[in-house]
Structure 1
Amino acid sequence: MTVLNLKEMTDLAAAEETTGQPKYEQLRDYVVSQIESGALKSGAALPSENRLAENLQIARSTVRQALSALERDGLVLRVHGKGTFVHDEAKQRLRKSQDLFALIVPETETAFYPSLQRSFERAAAELHNQVVVCNSNDDIDKQASAILQLIDLRVSGVAIIPATNPVTPAFHVRQLQKNNIPVVCCSRPVHGSPTPLLAIPFEDVGLRAGEKIREAGHRHVAFFGSAHSIASDMYVRGFRKAMGGGARVEIFVGSGQPTNYAALEKECSQAINAMFSKAETPTAIFCGFDSLAETIYMLLVQRGIRVPQDVSLVGFGGTYRGGGLANHLSSVTIDEIGMGHQAIELLSKMRNGQMPIDSSEVRQLPLSFNDGSTLASTSAKA
């Protein structure tokens, strides 16, 4: 009879209290991890229900539930009067789920996320892997639910742009890693969970935007951000640094969820009314995301404020500009296509054992600038 690691099995006994995951699911996942690692080989016998229940200090019905789940998945055979055995094709069946990479993003409709998704899918296809995309809507509860489903699917790896409002807790990532699922953080890290990071240099984004605006002669400017976050703080820091001490910088940051577009537009509308009702008004605005810049553009036009003749507008987004207004926006840009390809590269290396699952490698993504037509020199004003 195969003897499973008693220490690891005992640790499962108290795990439900800290993770919220039912004990039968944790026992099922533990057996799966032993099959994947080769500790449990084809045909190996599992300990009896009584032995498992005694070691884990759980009811036999809970053990029976875990074994039934394994049997439904085709990973074990239960032979009446003899016991439970690892199926001869268990490892091959598990490999089918390992053909799946996952991408978790805070939205799927605007900014550079659709382009990131396409590049992630293309890079995965080159390795003959499929992709599942999860939209967290920048909500940590939705993100947590997606993570549990991905663990259940036994995906091969997860690239995640962590939710920010509130900040993603470290245990979201740790749960994936505990199940031997590699994780790559994109844009920003999850503090307390070592993972490779494809980082957006947020302060440099603000710095680049400020430099372009200052070079165009603007000295009274504004920043619009969709929500309070580390990113918005860093944008402002870089923006102020580039503008210098002699500039006047007005700041607006939304108070709610960045994906609550109706509420954000209402707040932005009120902020624009306040800014442009004064005798001296900003001559340039920097927005933390292209989708927000598009909203600001429309709000300005509705008030008869011309862009860029009356006020210049600079956004931030991906190198792929697409059609419509995004193509005309003057924007700091990030290589989101490279982000997708590098995420797959890092996940593949961790899956294949070429780098540790808890690697702390950081790669800074390069910035560029799309000139567009919404940034004008103050000397060119009509």
Structure 2
Amino acid sequence: MKESKLSVPKYQMVRNYILSMIQNKELSAHARIPSEKDFIEKLGVSSITVRRALAELVDEGIIYRVKGKGSFISDQKQKDQTRTKLITFVLSGKDMYDNSYMQIMKGIQSYLSKHGYKLIIEFIENDIDREKDLVKKLIQTDCEGLLIYSSDPEAAKEYLTDIQSKRIPIVLLDRFPMGIPLPCIACNNYDGGFEAVSHLIDLGHSKIGFCAYDFFLNSEKERYLGYQHALMNANLLTDSTNFFSRSKLDYEDLVTAIKKGNLTALFCVNDRMALEVMEQLIKMGIKIPEDLSIIGFDDFESSKYAKVPLSTVRQHFEKLGYEAAKLLLETSTKTQMEAKKVLLPTNLIIRDSTAPPS
């Protein structure tokens, strides 16, 4: 026993002695610990040694002092309940004040606040390198979990694999990479795309184009798959000349196709793209929906106030945030991370930008 005491610093002996009393339930929450004199006599240490040990335990929150009365054992259960628990939402997007982002944040905050968590928001202006650096720093902190809306999930595979190996609670929102089984939540992009194109077909359209925004994203590919299957379901062929991407979109060619009758309707992968296309075509003399029906996806707040109110597929962004936070806390209680994928339903919203072909 004597050899054991000499193997550690003397102040550590005092510290370990107090911790063993707590562990053996000789001292319970708010119980007064022995006096400095008691430790000196029992352990054969100096008053300076005792004070150093007590100061360290105070810093760690294990004991607390009351002036004129002594030192007492902290209530660890109460301490755990009052400790601020942090969740970080990493949002890599184009516009911090986009209403859809604000709705997601509102949903996350709504769920977390009910369970004693605080939300930290880290916004990055669509920069995958900054996104990587930020997340690598965050996983070194005491953050309890991460919600990530990545600008490029495929490019994020490196840090996502690191998170997976460290078993840090994480949920991906809206988009995710292939080949890394991580919890994620998104709207049902396939069904939404299928329903949007089926609506155009029901109106009598057969020459329906697809306009992508960032086609490397799985969410856009799933909407495109819904588009293809809706055409197949109506025995219509997919025409590769009617596939347009934001980076290669030639409005002169688009107008020519519309005027020749080769294109009567357009499914845009999101409202941002749909509103941009609509604005440019109207400037070039195309009437919406008389010359071209346009339907989007997302139902941004601005879509219903467009020059021609936009038909679209509504995502429930607040619900997305709420369910993402819920899934994250569920994930944090599991001993092993599950690649759970949650899909939320969408709704078709019909406004003035779609009509039967002229």
2:44 equivalent to 1:88 = no
2:158 paired residue number: 171
Q: 2:348 aligns with which of 369, 373, 381?
A: 369
Distance in 1 between residues matched to 2:340 and 2:270, nearest whole Å: 26
2:225 paired residue number: 237
- Stretches of structure 1 that go unaligned for 5 or more consecutive residues are 2-42, 45-78, 256-266
Task: Tell me the secondary structure at the aligned position of residue 286 of structure 1.
Answer: strand
Q: CA deviation at 1:313?
A: 0.7
Say whether the 8 Å CA contact 1:184–1:196 is kept in structure 2.
yes
Distance in 2 between residues matched to 1:185 and 1:358, nearest whole Å: 13
Alignment of 1:239-318 (within 5 A): 239-244=227-232, 245-247=235-237, 249=239, 250-255=242-247, 267-268=248-249, 271-278=250-257, 279-318=260-299
1:227 paired residue number: 214
1:330–1:280 CA distance, 2 compared to 1 (3 A) = same
1:180–1:241 CA distance, 2 compared to 1 (3 A) = closer
> Partner amino acid for 1:205?
G
Higher RCO (CA 8 Å, separation ≥ 6 residues): 2
Deviation string 1:150-198 (CA, Å, 9 cap, x unpaired) is 224422211112332x723433224335555310112233334332221
Q: 2:195 aligns with which of 208, 214, 219?
A: 208
Distance in 2 between residues matched to 1:94 and 1:150, nearest whole Å: 23
Give aligned-pair identity as a percent.
19
Deviation string 1:355-379 (CA, Å, 9 cap, x unpaired) is 345112221111211112211112x
Q: CA deviation at 1:314?
A: 0.4
- Stretches of structure 2 that go unaligned for 5 or more consecutive residues are 5-14, 17-49, 63-75
Alignment of 1:293-372 (within 5 A): 293-318=274-299, 324-325=305-306, 328-351=309-332, 353=333, 355-356=334-335, 358-372=337-351
2:46 paired residue number: none
Distance in 1 between residues matched to 2:331 and 2:82, nearest whole Å: 16
Q: Which runs of 4+ in 1 moved over 6 A?
A: 319-322
**Cα RMSD, aligned residues only:** 3.4
Q: CA deviation at 1:247?
A: 4.7
Distance in 2 between residues matched to 1:326 and 1:136, nearest whole Å: 31
Q: TM-score, normalised by structure 1?
A: 0.65
> Partner amino acid for 2:350?
D
Say whether the 8 Å CA contact 1:121–1:131 is kept in structure 2.
yes
> Partner amino acid for 2:60?
D
Q: CA deviation at 1:140?
A: 2.2
Say whether the 8 Å CA contact 1:293–1:314 is kept in structure 2.
yes
Distance in 2 between residues matched to 1:192 and 1:329, nearest whole Å: 36
> Partner amino acid for 1:375?
T
1:258 paired residue number: none
Say whether the 8 Å CA contact 1:319–1:335 is kept in structure 2.
no
Task: Tell me the secondary structure at the aligned position of residue 176 of structure 2.
Answer: coil
1:336–1:327 CA distance, 2 compared to 1 (3 A) = farther
Say whether the 8 Å CA contact 2:296–2:313 is kept in structure 1.
yes
Moved more, 239-248 or 218-227: 239-248
Task: Tell me the secondary structure at the aligned position of residue 200 of structure 2.
Answer: helix
Task: Tell me the secondary structure at the aligned position of residue 119 of structure 1.
Answer: helix
1:75 paired residue number: none
Aligned length: 287
